[in-house]
């Protein structure tokens, strides 16, 4: 198999070739780094770990020669969102505040992937401190979507499910499209073939949202299934490490590697994790699928609605029971999240004062002035706004009116999900995003809060309830951009959720991108 085809092949297929000695991990890594250089205009990476990546790939070569590979992920290039601590590599959170911060330890998620033999290609771009839904509010600049970009037609080809007409339209776009966020860099890293999988974080949809806009599988596991240790927090009770891959089987492989108890994280479920595989032959005749009526939001794009209707019909034809369910507190989720998010932001970011680590302002005459200048200079507008509002909500006279009420609403949202499961619903099928990826020029006309309220409408409730959810790409829009749907299930039912996702993946056959043939190695 040529390298261009190998870079976008499933991990299992690549692993088999590595195990058989048909391809060397070091050659795969060199090719992946070549792709990173090709896609530089998309601004997916903040840090590229070139020399270290080659060193780890050489170690995989040695294990390959000794026939002692560590498993299916050994020698597989991956990327990590730049809000995970990585020992010896910068961890910036896409902020000036942490632009020179190099952690002394690894996040549990990365440590487990490293122990599995993966090769870290780089740290990916995000909205500053993960506060956004577009990956446009980064100290290092915005990340651009591969779909409908000039790079798509220059370096990539679609399989026979994608029309040439779609590709020709991409050359005529007047503005580029956003990737979604805040894990947009991770999504672009996977979509372009610069890595096989990437880790994001998901607090209100930040893995599923960019997966939807970039045509990927985006998994948000159950809260507590995967350790958050080493993930720089946004909202402690909602943050979940997320997984971005090109297919369901790859997401399962990564999940099996990173899930399980961790004594370093008190919020992690301290129960042994049992790895699983999803079969190729799937029977869904006994499946009960809920269609939440409240997710038919007024801003829902007609093409997304058509995808929703089509997949619902596919499920019915396969014998599944598809029924409407009511989740009446859905519309309150975004407002509730806006309060809880800002309260946690105000608390979590209080430690960034320029004293122990991070950016420190020059020329100050008192400690108070040092704090003020440091935080004013090092944080972007979105971050500063959220800190100020969060502190307002947490004032003694406002605490009950805002924070306590938001927590009560959160419980009601969670009870909506419990009611669905009590009615024997196995999974919920909804849109992931209300539209295809917006154009950047249109997106920036809205303030950050308005952006998030629109982009995260369908994804945020799952974080409120802590339940697992996965994005599944369905087809391309008339503008040549991915359209996707979301599945949600009861806590710790990832195996069933991903099985249904794979069935949909097999049924819809979303168009696949492949790199054009070119010299990838020296």
Active site residues: 81, 182, 206
Burial of 306 (0-12, 13-18, 19+ CB in 10 A): middle
Backbone phi and psi for residue 290, each to the nearest 5 degrees, phi listed first: -95, 140
Which two tokens mark 332?
């309150």
**How far is Cα 340 from Cα 405, in angstroms, rounded to an integer?**
10
Closest CA to 349 of 130, 90, 44: 130
Place of tokens 């129960």: 271
| Run of H or E residues at 156 | strand 156-158
Do the strands 119-124 and 45-48 form a parallel or antiparallel pair, or are they unpaired?
A: antiparallel
Q: Which class for 62: exposed (0-12), middle (13-18), buried (19 or more C-beta within 10 A)?
A: exposed
The helix (run of H) or strand (run of E) holding residue 323 is strand 321-325
Burial class (CB in 10 A: 0-12, 13-18, 19+), 441: exposed
Using the structure block, give the residue that is written with the tokens 């168009």: 511
CA dihedral 32, 34, 40, 43 (to 10 degrees): 10
Query: What CA–CA distances, in Å, run from 367 to 281, 353, 360, 364?
Result: 65, 10, 11, 8
In angstroms, the CA 199 to CA 77 distance is: 12
The residues pairing with 217 across neighbouring beta strands, listed in sequence order, are 245
Q: What is the DSSP secondary structure assignment for residue 232, as one 8-state letter?
A: P
- E strand or H helix at 470: strand 469-476
- Widest pairwise Cα distance in the chain: 73
* Nearest-angstrom CA–CA distance, 196 and 192: 9
Q: What is the DSSP string of 165-226?
A: HHHHHHTT-SS-BB--SSSHHHHHHHHTTS-SEEEEEESSSTTHHHHHHHT-EEEEPPTTTB
Q: What is the dihedral of CA 236, 182, 141, 513, to 10 degrees?
A: 150
Q: What angle do CA 472, 477, 479 make, to 5 degrees?
A: 140
- The residue behind tokens 């503008």 is 479
Helix pair angle (108-115, 248-258), 10° resolution: 110
A 10 A CB-CB count for 353 gives 18
């Amino acid at each position: 198999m040529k390298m261009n085809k190998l870079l976008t092949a499933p991990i299992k297929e690549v692993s088999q070739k590595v195990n058989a000695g048909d391809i060397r991990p070091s050659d795969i890594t060199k090719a992946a780094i070549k792709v990173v250089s090709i896609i530089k205009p998309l601004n997916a990476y903040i840090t590229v770990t070139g020399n270290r990546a080659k060193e780890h790939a050489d170690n995989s070569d040695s294990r390959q020669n000794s026939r002692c590979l560590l498993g299916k992920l050994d020698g597989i290039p991956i990327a990590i969102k730049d809000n995970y601590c990585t020992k010896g590599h910068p961890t910036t959170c896409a902020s000036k505040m942490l632009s020179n911060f190099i952690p002394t330890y690894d996040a549990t998620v990365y440590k487990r992937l490293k122990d599995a033999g993966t090769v870290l290609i780089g740290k990916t771009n995000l909205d500053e401190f993960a506060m956004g839904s577009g990956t446009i509010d980064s100290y290092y600049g915005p990340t651009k979507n591969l779909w409908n970009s000039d790079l798509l037609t220059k370096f990539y080809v679609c399989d026979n499910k994608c029309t040439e007409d779609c590709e020709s339209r991409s050359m005529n776009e007047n503005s580029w499209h956003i990737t979604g966020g805040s894990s947009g860099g991770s999504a672009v890293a996977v979509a372009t073939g610069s890595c096989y999988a990437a880790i994001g974080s998901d607090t209100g949809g930040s893995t599923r949202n960019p997966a939807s806009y970039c045509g990927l599988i985006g998994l948000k596991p159950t809260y507590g299934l995967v350790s958050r240790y080493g993930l720089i927090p946004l909202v402690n009770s909602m943050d979940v490490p997320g997984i971005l891959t090109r297919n369901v089987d790859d997401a399962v492989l990564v999940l099996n590697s990173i899930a399980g108890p961790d004594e370093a994280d008190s919020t992690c479920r301290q129960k042994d994790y049992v790895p699983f595989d999803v079969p190729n032959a799937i029977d869904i005749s006994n499946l009960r699928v809920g269609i939440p009526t409240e997710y038919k939001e007024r801003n829902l794009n007609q093409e997304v609605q058509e995808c929703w209707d089509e997949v619902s019909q596919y499920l019915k034809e396969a014998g599944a029971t598809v029924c409407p369910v009511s989740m009446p507190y859905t519309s309150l989720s975004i407002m509730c999240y806006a309060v809880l998010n800002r309260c946690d932001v105000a608390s979590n970011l209080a430690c960034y004062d320029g004293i122990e680590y991070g950016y420190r302002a020059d020329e100050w005459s008192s400690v108070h002035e040092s704090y003020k200048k440091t935080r004013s200079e090092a944080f972007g507008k979105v971050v500063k706004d959220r800190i100020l509002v969060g502190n307002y909500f947490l004032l003694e006279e406002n605490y009950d009116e805002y924070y306590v009420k938001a927590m009560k609403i959160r419980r009601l949202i969670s009870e909506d999900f419990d009611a669905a499961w009590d009615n024997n619903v196995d999974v919920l099928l909804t849109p992931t995003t209300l539209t295809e990826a917006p154009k950047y020029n249109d997106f920036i006309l809205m303030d950050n809060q308005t952006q998030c309220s629109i982009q995260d409408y369908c994804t945020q409730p799952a974080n409120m309830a802590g339940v697992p959810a996965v994005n599944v790409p369905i087809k391309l829009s008339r503008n040549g951009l991915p359209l996707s749907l979301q599945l949600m299930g009861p806590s710790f039912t990832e195996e069933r959720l991903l099985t249904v996702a794979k069935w949909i993946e097999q049924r819809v056959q979303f168009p696949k991108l492949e790199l054009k043939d070119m010299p990838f190695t020296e």
